[in-house]
């Protein structure tokens, strides 16, 4: 009886593995960044440097991981800590004089009814240029609560990802934040 159970268990594992490989071969299993594990977006991690392993470890040039701004969560702030280096000197407009993104991949534009007299009296849209972004995570770290609202997260861009069997970022990530999911469960 126990031998039979063991055989069945082994067969089930093998069958599961086979199904997984077939799905992966068909592009139905994809790598994804788990935002709740990633140190750049995980709540409670404050006062630490942004992790840039997604930039340095990916086999794809410029990395398949990019920062994505979810507009429904964005505060559309005048002073966005993911856009500006908020510890740089204040300029004549009352804004930080430096941008945060080392690749200048975030654009800022006023939206809605614009008050030209007072920049603080407007809403702003922050658009990430994914062709420039290399997923360094700096903006993600500054956007998360409590400093921001956590609208920016790192995502694997499936048109860029070559879907390695063992993602090199996942091997390097100390948080095990790179996970494989069926396409239907991936965001």
Partner 1 sequence: MQYRQVQTIDGKGALRGIAVDSRGQLYAAGDSEIKLFDAAGRLKQRWPTSRPALAVAVARDGAVYAGEMGQIEIFDGAGKLLRTWRDETLLGRVTAIGFSKDSVLAGDAADRAIRRFDGSGEFLNNIGKDNPVNGLLIPNGVVDFAVARNGAIYAANPGKHRVEWYTPGGELLGHIGRFDGIDPAGFTGCCNPTNVAVRDGIYTTEKAGPRVKAYDFSGNLLAVIATHPFNPNCKNMSIAVDSHNRVYVVDTEKLAIFVFEPVTTV
List contacts with partner 1 (CB under 8 A). Answer: 43-44, 46-47, 75-81, 86-90, 94-96, 112-115, 120-123, 145-149
By beta-carbon proximity to partner 1, the closer residue of 24 and 108 is: 108
Say how far apart CA 155 and CA 94 lie, in whole Å: 33
Q: How far is the CB of 125 from partner 1 (least distance, A)?
A: 14
Q: How far is the CB of 142 from partner 1 (least distance, A)?
A: 9
Q: Is 75 helix (H, G, I), strand (E, B) or coil?
A: coil
**Are residues 78 and 122 in contact, defined by beta-carbon separation less than 8 angstroms?**
yes
Q: Of 41, 92, 66, whose CA–CA distance to 159 is shortest?
A: 66
Q: How far is the CB of 75 from partner 1 (least distance, A)?
A: 3
By beta-carbon proximity to partner 1, the closer residue of 19 and 93 is: 93
Neighbours of 31 (CB within 10 A): 20
By beta-carbon proximity to partner 1, the closer residue of 94 and 182 is: 94
């Amino acid at each position: 009886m126990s031998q039979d159970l063991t055989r069945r268990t082994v067969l089930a594992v093998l069958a599961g593995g086979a199904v997984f490989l077939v799905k992966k071969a068909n592009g139905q299993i994809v790598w994804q960044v788990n935002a709740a594990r990633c140190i750049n977006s995980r709540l409670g991690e404050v006062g630490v440097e942004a992790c840039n392993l997604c930039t340095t470890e990916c086999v794809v040039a410029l990395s398949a991981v990019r920062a994505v701004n979810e507009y429904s969560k964005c505060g559309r702030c005048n002073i966005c800590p993911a856009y500006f280096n908020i510890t740089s000197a204040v300029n004549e407009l009352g804004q930080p004089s430096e941008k945060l993104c080392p690749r200048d991949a975030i654009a800022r534009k006023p939206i809605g009814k614009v008050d030209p007299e007072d920049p603080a009296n407007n809403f702003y849209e922050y658009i990430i240029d994914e062709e420039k972004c290399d997923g360094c995570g700096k903006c993600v770290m500054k956007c998360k609560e409590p400093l921001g609202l956590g609208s920016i997260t790192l995502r694997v861009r499936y048109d860029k990802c070559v879907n390695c069997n063992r993602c090199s970022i996942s091997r390097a990530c100390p948080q095990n934040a790179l996970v494989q999911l069926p396409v239907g469960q991936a965001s």
